[in-house]
Amino acid sequence: MDQLPATGHSLSNSTAPVVIEFKNVGKTYKSLLGNSVKAVEEFSLVIREGEILGIAGPNGAGKSTLISLMLGYLRPTAGDVEIGGMSARTYVERNGIGYLSELVSINPKWRADSALVRYATLAGLSDAEIPRRVEYVIDLLGLGEHRDKKVKALSKGNLQRLGLAQALLRDDERILVLDEPTHGLDPVWTQRFRDIVGDLRRSDRTMLIASHNLDELQRLADRVAIIDRGRLQRVVSTGYEAAAPTTTRFRLTLASGFELVPAVFPGAEEVGRGEYDVTVQSIQDLNASLANLIARGALIASVVPERSVLEQQFREAVGESQ
């Protein structure tokens, strides 16, 4: 079967220590003329050690504002953000956070490799560690042929990779925050990035990934917080639960035994040669029906959800808030 996310891929659990806590956080921007815009409102969320949390939301939903609040770049106008039991800013000043921003802003006059050496110095790496780690991230992100270039000479994709490289300079980073990490990357590097993030998963490392790309979050995150208009709409677990009810439609493609489909999946719609859209009530239901189909002699080529659980939840959540 194709594209079904694996269950139980999370290293996190509900007893793991809380690492990041948004406590009823609000952020209101006020203009000089007295107009105010609420970017974040009454946002509460707990993120535990070892967890990969996705943040999804439409443009202007408040994703980047939340991250700025978490890094101490903005002060909340209400509530508090705590990391490791201390204020977000204190935590960042003491420990640092591996951070890739949506807009990669590095001085265009710096050379790519010297930019990494600068960031490594600020990250607290020793003189002995700096060359080793810089070489490591250059190699990991495939920046070898671009290392001597000025930042202004890098393409958007290479700049994005440089941004990710500086976020990964410390091997012992406990928190990683990636804001639209595959923005500007080509398909090859998008996949490579996903592999890298997969390798970064550790039981003592907490990751937060903000993205428009629901498929990416479905693959990488344990849970996804869906926000819209600055409010948390819902938190979705990305794993399929066998008995959980679902109204998800799947596109079934068969190599042979087309005539068997209507009997096994009543209400199946034929959408092309050997292709059917079917609706099931649960994953158990789907598997039982597929087993029935195979037992009758059908040859299944692929089973693809029309929408992922996350996409379905996202549409509902964002639709509800509007």
Partner 1 sequence: MKGRLAKYSLWQFRDFFFQHGIGIAIIGLLWGYALLTPIRAASGTQMAAVPGSPIWSLVMQISSAVVSVSVLIAMNGIVSSDRKAGYYRFLFSKPVNRELYYAQQFFVYMVGVMLIMTILAVLLRTTLPAFSVGNFLMYAALIYIAMGGIGFFLSAATRYDWLSLAAVWLGARILRGFYSGPRSGWKGKAVQLLPPVHRLDDVANSLIGTGSAQSSDVLWLLGYGTLFFVLGLAVLRYGSLAD
Residues within the interface to partner 1 (CB under 8 A): 68, 71-75, 92-99, 101, 103, 105-107, 109, 118-119, 121-125, 163, 166-167, 170, 172, 177
Give me the half-sphere count of Cα atoms (radius 13 Å) on the Cβ side of residue 226.
Answer: 22
Tell me how far, at minimum, the Cβ of 109 lies from partner 1, in Å.
7
Tell me how far, at minimum, the Cβ of 149 lies from partner 1, in Å.
17
Tell me how far, at minimum, the Cβ of 74 lies from partner 1, in Å.
5
Q: Locate 143 and state its tokens.
A: 């920046």
Q: Which is nearer to partner 1, 64 or 218 (CB)?
A: 64
Q: Which residues contact 60 (CB under 8 A, 6 or more apart)?
A: none
Among 199, 196, 203, CA closest to 181 = 196
Among 317, 120, 303, 304, CA closest to 236 = 317
Q: Locate 208 and state its tokens.
A: 């937060």
Beta bridge partners of 254: 300
Q: Which is nearer to partner 1, 124 or 245 (CB)?
A: 124
Q: Which is nearer to partner 1, 92 or 278 (CB)?
A: 92
Tell me how far, at minimum, the Cβ of 187 lies from partner 1, in Å.
26
Q: Which is nearer to partner 1, 118 or 149 (CB)?
A: 118
Q: Which is nearer to partner 1, 163 or 305 (CB)?
A: 163
Report the side by side order of strands in the sheet with 36-48. 36-48, 18-30, 78-83, 86-87
Tell me how far, at minimum, the Cβ of 81 lies from partner 1, in Å.
13
